[in-house]
Structure 1
Amino acid sequence: MKNLLLLVLSMVAVAREATAQDTECVRERAAMVENIRTYARSDASVLGQQGLSESVLEAMGRTKRHLFIPERSCSIAYADSPVSIGQGQTISQPFIVALMTELAAVAPDHVVLEVGTGSGYQAAILAHLARKVCTVEIIPSLAEAAAKTLKELAYDNVSVRLGDGYAGWPECGPFDAIVVTAALGQVPPPLIEQLKVGGRLVMPVGAAYTTQHLTVVEKIAPDQTTTRAVALVRFVPFTRSKD
Protein backbone atom coordinates (compact mmCIF):
# COMPACT_ATOMS: atom_id res chain seq x y z
CA MET A 1 0.00 0.00 0.00
CA LYS A 2 2.88 2.34 0.87
CA ASN A 3 4.60 1.65 -2.45
CA LEU A 4 1.37 2.36 -4.33
CA LEU A 5 0.98 5.68 -2.48
CA LEU A 6 4.57 6.65 -3.33
CA LEU A 7 3.94 5.78 -6.98
CA VAL A 8 0.79 7.92 -7.09
CA LEU A 9 2.56 10.86 -5.44
CA SER A 10 5.43 10.53 -7.91
CA MET A 11 3.03 10.53 -10.86
CA VAL A 12 1.27 13.62 -9.49
CA ALA A 13 4.62 15.41 -9.11
CA VAL A 14 5.62 14.53 -12.68
CA ALA A 15 2.25 15.72 -13.98
CA ARG A 16 2.59 19.02 -12.13
CA GLU A 17 6.10 19.52 -13.50
CA ALA A 18 4.90 18.77 -17.05
CA THR A 19 1.99 21.19 -16.65
CA ALA A 20 4.35 23.91 -15.40
CA GLN A 21 6.66 23.34 -18.37
CA ASP A 22 3.72 23.39 -20.81
CA THR A 23 2.55 26.72 -19.34
CA GLU A 24 6.04 28.16 -19.64
CA CYS A 25 6.37 26.91 -23.23
CA VAL A 26 3.02 28.42 -24.25
CA ARG A 27 4.13 31.77 -22.85
CA GLU A 28 7.58 31.59 -24.48
CA ARG A 29 6.10 30.49 -27.82
CA ALA A 30 3.60 33.35 -27.85
CA ALA A 31 6.43 35.81 -27.14
CA MET A 32 8.44 34.27 -29.98
CA VAL A 33 5.57 34.81 -32.42
CA GLU A 34 5.22 38.46 -31.39
CA ASN A 35 8.96 38.98 -31.79
CA ILE A 36 8.80 37.48 -35.29
CA ARG A 37 5.82 39.68 -36.19
CA THR A 38 7.58 42.82 -34.96
CA TYR A 39 10.86 41.97 -36.67
CA ALA A 40 9.12 41.26 -39.97
CA ARG A 41 7.30 44.60 -39.92
CA SER A 42 10.44 46.51 -38.97
CA ASP A 43 12.28 45.31 -42.09
CA ALA A 44 9.95 46.22 -44.95
CA SER A 45 12.73 45.68 -47.51
CA VAL A 46 12.25 41.91 -47.22
CA LEU A 47 8.48 41.37 -46.86
CA GLY A 48 6.96 44.80 -47.41
CA GLN A 49 4.79 46.66 -44.95
CA GLN A 50 2.38 43.75 -44.54
CA GLY A 51 5.03 41.57 -42.89
CA LEU A 52 4.33 37.87 -42.44
CA SER A 53 0.97 36.31 -43.20
CA GLU A 54 -1.25 35.27 -40.31
CA SER A 55 -1.24 31.68 -41.56
CA VAL A 56 2.54 31.44 -41.19
CA LEU A 57 2.46 33.10 -37.77
CA GLU A 58 -0.28 30.70 -36.69
CA ALA A 59 1.80 27.72 -37.83
CA MET A 60 4.75 29.05 -35.82
CA GLY A 61 2.49 29.43 -32.79
CA ARG A 62 1.05 25.93 -33.06
CA THR A 63 4.36 24.09 -33.49
CA LYS A 64 6.10 22.95 -30.30
CA ARG A 65 9.67 23.87 -31.21
CA HIS A 66 11.02 22.68 -27.85
CA LEU A 67 10.12 19.10 -28.78
CA PHE A 68 12.39 19.29 -31.83
CA ILE A 69 15.63 20.09 -29.98
CA PRO A 70 17.72 17.78 -27.77
CA GLU A 71 17.42 19.92 -24.63
CA ARG A 72 13.61 20.15 -24.76
CA SER A 73 14.09 23.57 -23.14
CA CYS A 74 11.51 26.30 -23.69
CA SER A 75 13.92 29.15 -23.03
CA ILE A 76 16.40 27.79 -25.58
CA ALA A 77 13.82 26.73 -28.16
CA TYR A 78 11.90 29.99 -28.36
CA ALA A 79 14.81 32.43 -28.26
CA ASP A 80 15.46 34.13 -31.61
CA SER A 81 18.62 32.17 -32.37
CA PRO A 82 19.69 28.94 -34.08
CA VAL A 83 19.85 25.76 -31.98
CA SER A 84 22.33 22.92 -32.37
CA ILE A 85 20.76 19.51 -32.94
CA GLY A 86 23.99 17.49 -33.14
CA GLN A 87 25.97 16.08 -36.06
CA GLY A 88 27.18 19.61 -36.83
CA GLN A 89 23.64 20.66 -37.78
CA THR A 90 21.29 23.35 -36.48
CA ILE A 91 17.71 24.47 -36.79
CA SER A 92 17.48 28.06 -37.93
CA GLN A 93 16.35 30.91 -35.74
CA PRO A 94 12.54 31.21 -35.66
CA PHE A 95 12.40 34.35 -37.82
CA ILE A 96 14.37 32.68 -40.64
CA VAL A 97 12.09 29.63 -40.49
CA ALA A 98 9.06 31.90 -40.73
CA LEU A 99 10.64 33.97 -43.52
CA MET A 100 11.49 30.93 -45.66
CA THR A 101 8.01 29.54 -45.12
CA GLU A 102 6.43 32.84 -46.16
CA LEU A 103 8.61 33.11 -49.28
CA ALA A 104 7.62 29.59 -50.31
CA ALA A 105 3.98 30.78 -50.53
CA VAL A 106 2.54 27.44 -49.39
CA ALA A 107 -1.20 26.83 -49.89
CA PRO A 108 -3.50 24.18 -48.34
CA ASP A 109 -3.58 22.00 -51.48
CA HIS A 110 0.19 22.08 -52.04
CA VAL A 111 2.72 19.27 -52.04
CA VAL A 112 6.00 20.58 -50.62
CA LEU A 113 9.54 19.22 -50.67
CA GLU A 114 12.00 20.04 -47.91
CA VAL A 115 15.68 19.24 -48.38
CA GLY A 116 17.48 18.93 -45.06
CA THR A 117 15.02 17.55 -42.50
CA GLY A 118 17.28 18.12 -39.52
CA SER A 119 15.13 17.77 -36.42
CA GLY A 120 11.87 17.94 -38.38
CA TYR A 121 10.88 21.42 -37.17
CA GLN A 122 10.64 23.14 -40.57
CA ALA A 123 8.71 20.14 -41.92
CA ALA A 124 6.26 20.49 -39.04
CA ILE A 125 5.71 24.18 -39.83
CA LEU A 126 5.10 23.34 -43.49
CA ALA A 127 2.74 20.52 -42.50
CA HIS A 128 0.35 23.03 -40.92
CA LEU A 129 0.08 24.84 -44.24
CA ALA A 130 0.33 22.17 -46.97
CA ARG A 131 -1.57 19.05 -47.96
CA LYS A 132 1.60 16.94 -48.02
CA VAL A 133 5.25 17.43 -47.05
CA CYS A 134 8.08 15.23 -48.34
CA THR A 135 11.38 15.80 -46.54
CA VAL A 136 14.83 14.34 -47.26
CA GLU A 137 17.70 14.04 -44.76
CA ILE A 138 21.15 12.59 -45.52
CA ILE A 139 22.27 11.92 -41.91
CA PRO A 140 20.72 8.63 -40.72
CA SER A 141 20.46 9.49 -37.01
CA LEU A 142 18.73 12.80 -37.75
CA ALA A 143 16.34 11.24 -40.27
CA GLU A 144 15.38 8.53 -37.77
CA ALA A 145 14.90 10.95 -34.88
CA ALA A 146 12.89 13.42 -36.99
CA ALA A 147 10.61 10.69 -38.32
CA LYS A 148 10.01 9.47 -34.76
CA THR A 149 9.22 12.96 -33.43
CA LEU A 150 6.90 13.82 -36.32
CA LYS A 151 5.05 10.52 -35.89
CA GLU A 152 4.68 10.97 -32.12
CA LEU A 153 3.26 14.46 -32.68
CA ALA A 154 0.79 13.13 -35.28
CA TYR A 155 2.14 14.95 -38.32
CA ASP A 156 0.56 12.36 -40.56
CA ASN A 157 0.99 14.40 -43.75
CA VAL A 158 4.81 14.34 -43.52
CA SER A 159 6.99 11.65 -45.10
CA VAL A 160 10.70 11.41 -44.22
CA ARG A 161 13.27 9.88 -46.55
CA LEU A 162 16.94 9.08 -45.92
CA GLY A 163 19.08 10.17 -48.87
CA ASP A 164 20.93 12.85 -50.79
CA GLY A 165 18.52 15.75 -51.19
CA TYR A 166 20.39 17.10 -54.22
CA ALA A 167 18.38 14.64 -56.31
CA GLY A 168 15.11 15.68 -54.69
CA TRP A 169 12.34 13.09 -54.38
CA PRO A 170 10.80 12.54 -57.84
CA GLU A 171 8.32 9.91 -56.68
CA CYS A 172 6.81 12.33 -54.19
CA GLY A 173 6.52 15.25 -56.62
CA PRO A 174 6.09 17.31 -58.64
CA PHE A 175 6.15 20.04 -56.02
CA ASP A 176 4.34 23.33 -55.58
CA ALA A 177 7.12 24.58 -53.31
CA ILE A 178 10.61 23.47 -52.29
CA VAL A 179 12.49 24.63 -49.19
CA VAL A 180 16.21 23.87 -48.87
CA THR A 181 17.70 24.34 -45.40
CA ALA A 182 21.43 24.14 -46.25
CA ALA A 183 23.70 26.30 -48.36
CA LEU A 184 25.08 25.42 -51.79
CA GLY A 185 26.83 27.46 -54.45
CA GLN A 186 24.06 26.83 -56.97
CA VAL A 187 20.48 25.57 -57.08
CA PRO A 188 20.44 21.80 -57.85
CA PRO A 189 18.98 21.27 -61.36
CA PRO A 190 16.95 18.19 -60.27
CA LEU A 191 15.02 20.39 -57.82
CA ILE A 192 14.11 22.85 -60.56
CA GLU A 193 12.93 19.93 -62.70
CA GLN A 194 10.67 18.68 -59.91
CA LEU A 195 9.18 22.13 -59.26
CA LYS A 196 5.79 22.79 -60.87
CA VAL A 197 5.31 25.74 -63.17
CA GLY A 198 4.17 28.57 -60.89
CA GLY A 199 6.02 27.05 -57.94
CA ARG A 200 8.74 28.53 -55.77
CA LEU A 201 12.04 27.23 -54.44
CA VAL A 202 13.62 28.92 -51.42
CA MET A 203 17.21 28.23 -50.38
CA PRO A 204 20.45 29.87 -49.22
CA VAL A 205 22.85 30.18 -52.17
CA GLY A 206 26.53 30.76 -51.59
CA ALA A 207 29.76 29.27 -50.31
CA ALA A 208 29.96 27.24 -47.10
CA TYR A 209 30.97 28.85 -43.81
CA THR A 210 30.31 32.38 -45.03
CA THR A 211 27.38 34.68 -45.68
CA GLN A 212 24.94 33.44 -48.31
CA HIS A 213 21.98 34.95 -50.15
CA LEU A 214 18.55 33.65 -49.23
CA THR A 215 17.21 33.12 -52.73
CA VAL A 216 13.75 32.66 -54.23
CA VAL A 217 13.48 30.87 -57.58
CA GLU A 218 10.12 31.01 -59.37
CA LYS A 219 9.38 28.63 -62.23
CA ILE A 220 7.39 30.68 -64.75
CA ALA A 221 7.53 28.18 -67.65
CA PRO A 222 8.74 24.57 -68.12
CA ASP A 223 12.20 25.84 -69.12
CA GLN A 224 12.23 29.30 -67.57
CA THR A 225 12.80 30.62 -64.04
CA THR A 226 13.30 33.95 -62.32
CA THR A 227 15.67 34.40 -59.38
CA ARG A 228 15.89 37.03 -56.68
CA ALA A 229 18.06 37.38 -53.60
CA VAL A 230 16.04 38.37 -50.55
CA ALA A 231 18.36 38.61 -47.57
CA LEU A 232 21.81 37.74 -46.25
CA VAL A 233 21.90 34.55 -44.16
CA ARG A 234 24.35 32.01 -42.81
CA PHE A 235 23.44 28.31 -43.11
CA VAL A 236 25.30 25.05 -42.61
CA PRO A 237 26.75 23.53 -45.81
CA PHE A 238 24.67 21.28 -48.06
CA THR A 239 25.85 17.71 -47.40
CA ARG A 240 26.24 15.40 -50.40
CA SER A 241 26.52 11.64 -50.63
CA LYS A 242 30.08 10.36 -51.20
CA ASP A 243 28.85 7.69 -53.62
Structure 2
Amino acid sequence: MTMDIEKARFNMVEQQIRPWDVLDQGVLNLLFKVKREEFVPLAYQGLTFVDMEIPLGHGEVMLSPKLEARILQEVAVKKTDKVLEVGTGSGYMTALLAHEAMHVYSVEIIPEFKMQADQNLKAHGITNATLEIGDAACDWNRQGPYDVIILTGSVPVIPEKFKQNLTTGGRLFVVEGDAPLMEAKLITCVADGVYNTVVLFETCIAPLKNVLQPQRFVF
Protein backbone atom coordinates (compact mmCIF):
# COMPACT_ATOMS: atom_id res chain seq x y z
CA MET A 1 0.00 0.00 0.00
CA THR A 2 2.84 2.37 0.87
CA MET A 3 4.46 1.63 -2.47
CA ASP A 4 1.19 2.45 -4.25
CA ILE A 5 0.98 5.80 -2.46
CA GLU A 6 4.58 6.68 -3.29
CA LYS A 7 4.04 5.68 -6.92
CA ALA A 8 0.94 7.91 -7.05
CA ARG A 9 2.90 10.78 -5.50
CA PHE A 10 5.72 10.31 -8.01
CA ASN A 11 3.22 10.29 -10.89
CA MET A 12 1.57 13.46 -9.55
CA VAL A 13 4.90 15.27 -9.58
CA GLU A 14 6.08 13.95 -12.95
CA GLN A 15 2.79 14.04 -14.88
CA GLN A 16 0.97 17.06 -13.41
CA ILE A 17 3.39 19.35 -11.61
CA ARG A 18 6.65 19.26 -13.55
CA PRO A 19 4.88 19.75 -16.93
CA TRP A 20 3.23 22.86 -15.46
CA ASP A 21 6.62 24.59 -15.35
CA VAL A 22 7.37 23.71 -11.74
CA LEU A 23 11.07 22.90 -12.09
CA ASP A 24 12.45 24.13 -8.75
CA GLN A 25 13.97 20.99 -7.25
CA GLY A 26 13.52 22.31 -3.71
CA VAL A 27 9.77 22.61 -4.29
CA LEU A 28 9.55 19.16 -5.88
CA ASN A 29 11.50 17.61 -2.98
CA LEU A 30 9.12 19.25 -0.50
CA LEU A 31 6.13 17.56 -2.15
CA PHE A 32 7.67 14.19 -1.28
CA LYS A 33 8.49 15.30 2.26
CA VAL A 34 5.11 16.78 3.30
CA LYS A 35 2.56 14.02 2.79
CA ARG A 36 -0.46 15.51 1.04
CA GLU A 37 -2.72 12.57 1.89
CA GLU A 38 -2.43 13.41 5.59
CA PHE A 39 -4.21 16.73 4.98
CA VAL A 40 -7.00 15.44 2.73
CA PRO A 41 -10.42 14.68 4.30
CA LEU A 42 -10.96 10.93 4.78
CA ALA A 43 -13.90 10.88 2.38
CA TYR A 44 -11.65 12.06 -0.46
CA GLN A 45 -8.43 10.14 0.24
CA GLY A 46 -8.70 8.40 -3.11
CA LEU A 47 -8.43 11.76 -4.88
CA THR A 48 -5.30 12.95 -3.05
CA PHE A 49 -3.03 12.89 -6.10
CA VAL A 50 -5.63 13.66 -8.79
CA ASP A 51 -5.39 16.89 -10.81
CA MET A 52 -8.44 18.53 -9.23
CA GLU A 53 -9.65 20.59 -6.30
CA ILE A 54 -10.75 18.54 -3.28
CA PRO A 55 -13.87 19.54 -1.28
CA LEU A 56 -13.24 20.52 2.34
CA GLY A 57 -16.82 21.44 3.26
CA HIS A 58 -18.51 24.82 3.66
CA GLY A 59 -18.12 25.30 -0.09
CA GLU A 60 -14.31 25.43 0.22
CA VAL A 61 -11.67 23.30 -1.50
CA MET A 62 -8.01 22.32 -1.45
CA LEU A 63 -6.34 23.79 -4.51
CA SER A 64 -5.11 21.40 -7.19
CA PRO A 65 -1.62 19.94 -6.59
CA LYS A 66 -0.07 21.73 -9.56
CA LEU A 67 -1.41 25.12 -8.42
CA GLU A 68 -0.11 24.59 -4.87
CA ALA A 69 3.32 23.73 -6.26
CA ARG A 70 3.35 26.63 -8.69
CA ILE A 71 2.48 29.10 -5.92
CA LEU A 72 5.38 27.78 -3.83
CA GLN A 73 7.77 28.16 -6.70
CA GLU A 74 6.66 31.69 -7.58
CA VAL A 75 6.86 33.18 -4.08
CA ALA A 76 10.29 31.58 -3.47
CA VAL A 77 10.11 31.50 0.34
CA LYS A 78 13.40 31.88 2.23
CA LYS A 79 14.33 30.83 5.76
CA THR A 80 14.30 34.46 6.89
CA ASP A 81 10.78 35.15 5.55
CA LYS A 82 7.68 36.01 7.54
CA VAL A 83 4.69 34.71 5.60
CA LEU A 84 0.98 35.55 5.68
CA GLU A 85 -1.45 32.99 4.28
CA VAL A 86 -5.07 34.07 3.84
CA GLY A 87 -7.25 30.96 3.95
CA THR A 88 -5.75 28.06 5.92
CA GLY A 89 -8.08 25.34 4.66
CA SER A 90 -6.66 21.91 5.51
CA GLY A 91 -3.30 23.36 6.53
CA TYR A 92 -1.39 21.64 3.72
CA MET A 93 -0.13 24.83 2.09
CA THR A 94 0.62 26.15 5.58
CA ALA A 95 2.81 23.11 6.23
CA LEU A 96 4.65 23.48 2.93
CA LEU A 97 5.31 27.16 3.64
CA ALA A 98 6.41 26.47 7.22
CA HIS A 99 9.12 24.10 5.98
CA GLU A 100 10.64 26.96 3.99
CA ALA A 101 9.90 30.07 6.08
CA MET A 102 10.96 31.54 9.41
CA HIS A 103 7.31 31.82 10.48
CA VAL A 104 3.89 31.49 8.85
CA TYR A 105 0.80 33.35 10.03
CA SER A 106 -2.31 31.78 8.55
CA VAL A 107 -5.81 33.24 8.91
CA GLU A 108 -8.97 31.18 8.48
CA ILE A 109 -12.55 32.43 8.62
CA ILE A 110 -14.09 28.98 9.34
CA PRO A 111 -13.32 27.83 12.93
CA GLU A 112 -13.73 24.13 12.04
CA PHE A 113 -10.96 24.39 9.45
CA LYS A 114 -8.66 26.14 11.88
CA MET A 115 -9.11 23.39 14.48
CA GLN A 116 -8.46 20.61 11.97
CA ALA A 117 -5.45 22.39 10.48
CA ASP A 118 -4.02 22.87 13.99
CA GLN A 119 -4.22 19.11 14.52
CA ASN A 120 -2.65 18.39 11.13
CA LEU A 121 0.27 20.72 11.76
CA LYS A 122 0.88 19.36 15.27
CA ALA A 123 0.88 15.81 13.87
CA HIS A 124 3.69 16.91 11.55
CA GLY A 125 5.69 18.57 14.33
CA ILE A 126 5.37 22.01 12.79
CA THR A 127 5.90 24.72 15.40
CA ASN A 128 6.66 27.82 13.30
CA ALA A 129 3.08 28.40 12.14
CA THR A 130 0.45 30.45 13.97
CA LEU A 131 -3.18 29.88 12.98
CA GLU A 132 -5.78 32.51 13.70
CA ILE A 133 -9.52 32.80 13.17
CA GLY A 134 -10.55 35.96 11.39
CA ASP A 135 -11.70 37.68 8.23
CA ALA A 136 -8.61 38.66 6.27
CA ALA A 137 -10.26 39.08 2.87
CA CYS A 138 -9.25 42.75 2.65
CA ASP A 139 -6.43 43.18 5.16
CA TRP A 140 -4.45 41.50 7.96
CA ASN A 141 -1.56 43.50 9.36
CA ARG A 142 -1.30 42.27 12.96
CA GLN A 143 2.17 40.80 12.44
CA GLY A 144 3.08 42.77 9.31
CA PRO A 145 4.81 43.78 7.27
CA TYR A 146 5.36 40.42 5.57
CA ASP A 147 7.96 39.07 3.18
CA VAL A 148 5.41 36.84 1.46
CA ILE A 149 1.61 37.05 1.28
CA ILE A 150 -0.52 34.35 -0.36
CA LEU A 151 -4.26 34.61 -0.96
CA THR A 152 -5.66 31.10 -1.44
CA GLY A 153 -8.94 32.43 -2.86
CA SER A 154 -9.50 34.84 -5.72
CA VAL A 155 -10.37 38.54 -5.49
CA PRO A 156 -12.15 40.66 -8.14
CA VAL A 157 -9.72 43.50 -7.43
CA ILE A 158 -6.52 43.32 -5.37
CA PRO A 159 -6.98 45.10 -2.02
CA GLU A 160 -4.29 47.80 -1.71
CA LYS A 161 -3.71 46.94 1.94
CA PHE A 162 -2.01 43.68 1.03
CA LYS A 163 0.50 45.45 -1.18
CA GLN A 164 1.12 48.00 1.58
CA ASN A 165 1.80 45.15 4.04
CA LEU A 166 4.80 43.90 2.03
CA THR A 167 8.39 44.49 3.05
CA THR A 168 10.73 45.87 0.40
CA GLY A 169 11.43 42.81 -1.72
CA GLY A 170 8.23 41.18 -0.45
CA ARG A 171 6.05 39.09 -2.77
CA LEU A 172 2.26 38.85 -3.00
CA PHE A 173 0.61 35.95 -4.85
CA VAL A 174 -2.98 36.63 -5.82
CA VAL A 175 -5.57 35.42 -8.31
CA GLU A 176 -7.47 38.45 -9.60
CA GLY A 177 -10.64 38.66 -11.67
CA ASP A 178 -14.11 37.21 -12.05
CA ALA A 179 -15.07 33.73 -13.22
CA PRO A 180 -14.45 32.28 -15.70
CA LEU A 181 -11.41 34.44 -16.51
CA MET A 182 -8.89 35.19 -13.77
CA GLU A 183 -5.16 35.90 -13.74
CA ALA A 184 -2.61 34.66 -11.24
CA LYS A 185 -0.23 37.51 -10.43
CA LEU A 186 3.00 37.95 -8.53
CA ILE A 187 3.38 41.44 -7.12
CA THR A 188 6.79 42.45 -5.75
CA CYS A 189 7.45 45.54 -3.63
CA VAL A 190 10.61 46.96 -5.22
CA ALA A 191 10.70 50.12 -3.08
CA ASP A 192 8.42 51.93 -0.65
CA GLY A 193 5.10 52.29 -2.49
CA VAL A 194 6.54 50.94 -5.76
CA TYR A 195 5.35 47.56 -7.06
CA ASN A 196 6.19 45.31 -9.97
CA THR A 197 3.40 43.05 -11.25
CA VAL A 198 3.91 39.92 -13.35
CA VAL A 199 0.98 38.00 -14.82
CA LEU A 200 1.87 34.33 -14.36
CA PHE A 201 -1.00 32.39 -15.93
CA GLU A 202 -4.77 32.25 -16.36
CA THR A 203 -6.81 30.19 -13.93
CA CYS A 204 -10.12 30.16 -12.07
CA ILE A 205 -10.51 29.48 -8.34
CA ALA A 206 -13.21 30.17 -5.78
CA PRO A 207 -13.29 33.69 -4.30
CA LEU A 208 -12.28 34.52 -0.76
CA LYS A 209 -15.26 34.74 1.56
CA ASN A 210 -16.39 38.33 2.24
CA VAL A 211 -14.05 39.72 -0.38
CA LEU A 212 -14.68 43.38 -1.20
CA GLN A 213 -16.64 43.76 -4.41
CA PRO A 214 -15.88 46.74 -6.64
CA GLN A 215 -18.60 49.01 -7.92
CA ARG A 216 -19.95 47.55 -11.12
CA PHE A 217 -21.69 49.31 -13.95
CA VAL A 218 -25.34 48.43 -14.38
CA PHE A 219 -26.85 48.95 -17.81
Task: Kindly report which structure 2 residues correspond to 1:205-224, keeping only aligned pairs within 5 A, or say none.
Answer: 205-207=176-178, 209-224=179-194
Counterpart code for 1:53: D
Report SS of the residue matched to 2:142.
helix
Separation in 2, partners of 1:178, 1:232: 19
Matched, 1:150 2:130: no
Q: How many residues align?
A: 212
What CA distance in whole angstroms lies between the structure 1 residues aligned with 2:170 and 2:97?
15
Give the corresponding residue for 1:194.
165
Offset at residue 167 of structure 1 (A): 4.8
Q: Which runs of 5+ in 1 are unaligned?
A: 1-19, 42-50
What is the match of residue 198 of structure 2?
A: 228
Instruction: Give 1:74 deviation, angstroms.
Output: 5.0
Distance in 2 between residues matched to 1:38 and 1:111, nearest whole Å: 27
Tell me by how many angstroms 1:152 deviates: 1.8
1:69 maps to which of 40, 43, 68:
40
Match of 2:62 among 91, 94, 111: 91
Asked whether 1:119 is paired with 2:90, we answer: yes
Q: Deviations over 1:152-189 (max 9, x none)?
A: 22111111110011354423232111111101112222
Give the number of the structure whose residues are more often strand, by fraction. 2
CA distance in 2, matches of 1:143, 1:238: 16
What letter corresponds to residue 150 of structure 2 in structure 1?
V
Residue 25 in structure 1 maps to residue 5 in structure 2: yes
Question: CA separation in 2, counterparts of 1:72 and 1:52?
Answer: 31
Q: CA deviation at 1:24?
A: 2.7
CA contact 1:108–1:129 (8 Å) conserved in 2 = yes
Give the equivalent residue in structure 2 for 1:15: none
CA contact (8 A) 1:114 1:178 kept: yes
Q: Larger C-alpha radius of gyration, 1 or 2?
A: 1
> 1:195 and 1:144, CA in 2 relative to 1: closer, same or farther beyond 3 A?
same
List structure 1 runs of 4+ shifted beyond 4 angstroms. Answer: none
User: 1:238 aligned to 2:180?
Assistant: no
Distance 1:215 1:25, change over 3 A: same
Contact preservation (8 Å) 1:110, 1:175? yes
- Give the secondary-structure state (helix, strand or coil) at the position aligned to 2:42: coil
Q: Distance in 2 between matches of 1:241 and 1:185?
A: 8
Q: CA-atom RMSD, angstroms? A: 1.9
Alignment of 1:29-40 (within 5 A): 29-40=9-20
Normalising by the residue count of structure 1, what TM-score does the alignment of the two structures yield?
0.81
How many Å apart are 1:59 and its aligned residue?
1.3
TM-score by length of 2: 0.89
Which residue identity does 1:125 align to in structure 2?
L
3-state SS in 2 of match to 1:219 = strand
Q: What secondary structure sits across from 2:163 in the alignment? A: helix
Q: Cα distance, 1:92 vs. partner?
A: 0.9
Q: Is the Cα contact below 8 Å between 1:166 and 1:190 reproduced in 2?
A: no
Cα contact 1:59–1:129 (8 A) shared by 2: no
TM-superposed CA distance for 1:80, in Å, is: 1.6
Question: Deviation per CA, 1:16-45, whole angstroms, max 9, x where unpaired?
Answer: xxxx3x43322221221222453134xxxx
Q: Is the 8 A contact 1:136 1:164 kept in 2?
A: yes
Whether the 8 Å CA contact 2:138–2:211 is kept in 1: the answer is no
Aligned in 2, Cα 1:52/1:173: closer, same or farther, shift over 3 Å? farther
Structure 1 residues 167-182: aligned runs within 5 Å? 167-182=138-153
Ranges in structure 2 where 5+ consecutive residues have no aligned partner: 213-219
Contact 1:110-1:177 within 8 A present in 2 as well: yes
Describe the shift of the 1:37–1:240 C-alpha distance in structure 2 as closer, same or farther (beyond 3 A). Answer: closer
